[in-house]
Amino acid sequence: MSAESTPEPGITTPGETGPHRSGKGRRRKARGKGRKGVRVAAWTAAGVVVLAGTGAGYLYFRLNGNIRSVDIDQALGNDRPSKIDNGSENILVLGSDTRSGSNKKLGGGTDDGSARSDTAMIVHVYEGHKKAGVVSVPRDTLIDRPACTDTKGTTHPAANGTMFNEAYSTGGAACAVKTVESLTGIRMDHYLEVDFAGFQKLIDDLGGVPVTTAKSIDDPQSHLSLKAGTHTLNGRQALGLVRTRHGVGDGSDLGRIQLQQAFVKALLNQVKHVGVLTSPKKLYDLADTATKTVTTDSDLGSVNSLIDFADGLKGIGAKDMTMITMPVRYDPANPNRVLMEKQKAQLVWDALKNDRPIPRSATAGTATGEANGVVR
């Protein structure tokens, strides 16, 4: 997923705005002092990063040229859930793990060149854009994947009993979105993907993220060693934290998700308090890293589009987010896999469709991972 790779049809190359509608991606007039620079907001465990605000001229075009976008709508066509016009938005956020290049060095694995969605979150922004619900989808969930068409126009047949994250490795962003929409019955209005190498650099550009660990964490596989106590994590440590699953909780992907959710809230708090506007260089470094790190759907594939999108989210802080894991149970045949609890999960999807809070009963008695409270 690097910016230097050969672009697929439906993916804009750096410097292009792609098939945007309604003039998105065009240069706007320079704004006043209060709107110049760049505001960075970050979501996700793997690191969802959204950029907002920019200057004009060279910096605008430089940042705009960093962004890669994928035309999800063209790839998926009309066979999708209907859009819900109630003022809410649904965003699929993925953290990508290419297992090659710089990403290989960040967490082990073989350099097989394959791409996986190591982290997946469905972000529901409620009407009024003051609150959000976040549902993490365990990558080890066994699902029935629907047939899907990727951005190259290749159709992949349906598959039964496959892991959730294989949808992305099979057909990229379009198949990941198709799979989520099939599971939930909810249309994803937007797609955001963050590359792990860029996520690490973003944390370093922010100056680190403070967290407190209730117990020591030692996981050589994710290159993470933290004693119990308060730490300001650098990029390498932050990436290790959101990827570790050994030595925390029950050692499952569910425990890792609990760490990811705790880190997302810490990251949001850090972004809110960091004084980027006092340092033009820090401001530009953050903007440059963020726009190189993120891949979006084509509707968000320009700096101006991201500005408008992020402006709609700027009132949502960590305290305004409800974060859960999709209701699942351990697979009796394989404890390293989980199965969706369909009836309980339906309570979640119904709540999001109707823009209502997620009921506590939806997650009562489901598998958790036993790592809640390890990071705060």
Tell whether the model's pLDDT for residue 80 goes beyond 60: yes
Q: Where are the alpha helices (DSSP H) in 115-190?
A: 166-184
Tell whether the model's pLDDT for residue 141 goes beyond 50: yes
The mean per-residue pLDDT over the stretch 136-148 comes to 96
- The two tokens of residue 20 are 């945007």
pLDDT digits (tens, 9 = 90+) for 87-136: 999 999 998 865 334 444 444 433 333 456 678 999 999 999 999 999 99
- The two tokens of residue 348 are 């979640």
- The two tokens of residue 203 are 């944390």
Quick one: pLDDT at residue 107?
Answer: 43
Quick one: pLDDT at residue 42?
Answer: 33
Quick one: pLDDT at residue 5?
Answer: 42
Instruction: Confirm if 228 and 257 have CB atoms less than 8 A apart.
Output: no
pLDDT confidence bin for 271, thresholds 50/70/90: confident
Name the residue with tokens 């951005």.
Answer: 151
pTM of the model: 0.81
Q: Which of 189, 212, 184 is nearest to 93 (CA)?
A: 189
Q: Where are the domains of the chain?
A: 33-199+266-355
The mean per-residue pLDDT over the stretch 351-367 comes to 95
- The two tokens of residue 159 are 């598959």
pLDDT confidence bin for 196, thresholds 50/70/90: confident
List, in order, residues 6 or more apart from 187 with CB less than 8 Å away. Answer: 80, 81, 82, 83, 84, 90, 181
Work out whether strand 209-213 and strand 224-226 pair parallel, antiparallel, or are unpaired: unpaired
- The two tokens of residue 197 are 């190498």
Q: Would you state the CATH architecture of domain 33-199+266-355? A: 2-Layer Sandwich (3.30)
Name the residue with tokens 């997923």.
Answer: 1
Q: What is the dihedral of CA 255, 197, 183, 305, to 10 degrees?
A: 130
Q: Which DSSP string corresponds to 202-264?
A: HHHHHT-EEEEESS-EEEGGGTEEE-SEEEEE-HHHHHHHHH--SSSTTSSHHHHHHHHHHHH
The mean per-residue pLDDT over the stretch 160-164 comes to 96
pLDDT confidence bin for 138, thresholds 50/70/90: very high
| 59-73, 179-193, 271-285: least confidently modelled range | 271-285
Interatomic CA distance for residues 159 and 174, integer angstroms: 16
